[in-house]
Amino acid sequence: MKKLLLVAFVIFLAASTTGVAQEKIAPRTEYTVSLSENVVKLAPGETKQLTVSILKSKLYAKSKATLGLSSSLPDGITVTFEPAEGMFESSVASIAAASTVPVGEYQFILKTTVNHKIKGSIVKVVVGSGGVKEAVTVN
């Protein structure tokens, strides 16, 4: 009987912790920003999308968010957001490298503003031709 209760308890514990790990828990204060990836690999002339997710606390739930850049981009790399401003939980950042961009590694800071609070996320762009080497994630 004790073994049966122990097995039932272990199964319950495993099921309850698995469910919690999959849920997105709102922050207690302010907001959090997460990116689908911190390193974007492009060939010259290519465009890729990056998802920017914003999880707001109850206090910030009805606040508009604005996305932009707080650093300059190298020549030939462009970043656009859809949407760039408004009441959203996620946005798509399109990162494009012109065909003239030299092979190399570049960085920019993605700026998120909610309720006059600003947070930055570093994004590394690796421009390569054909076989782009594996890049190290920047946090």
Which tokens sit at 132?
């782009």
Q: Cα Rg for the chain, rounded, in angstroms?
A: 20
Contacts of 70 (CB under 8 A, 6+ apart): 109, 110, 111, 118, 120
Share of residues in the chain with pLDDT > 90 (%)? 68
> Rounded to 5 degrees, what are φ and ψ at 112?
-115, 130
* Rounded Cα–Cα distance for residues 131 and 17 (Å): 40
Residue with tokens 């004790």: 2
Q: Which residue has the higher pLDDT, 28 or 7?
A: 28
Angle at 121 between CA 75 and CA 97, to 5 degrees: 25
Q: In this model, does residue 106 exceed pLDDT 70?
A: yes
Residue with tokens 């974007």: 40
What domains are there in the chain, each with its CATH number?
26-127 (2.60.40.10)
Q: Quick one: pLDDT at residue 29?
A: 84
Q: In this model, does residue 111 exceed pLDDT 70?
A: yes
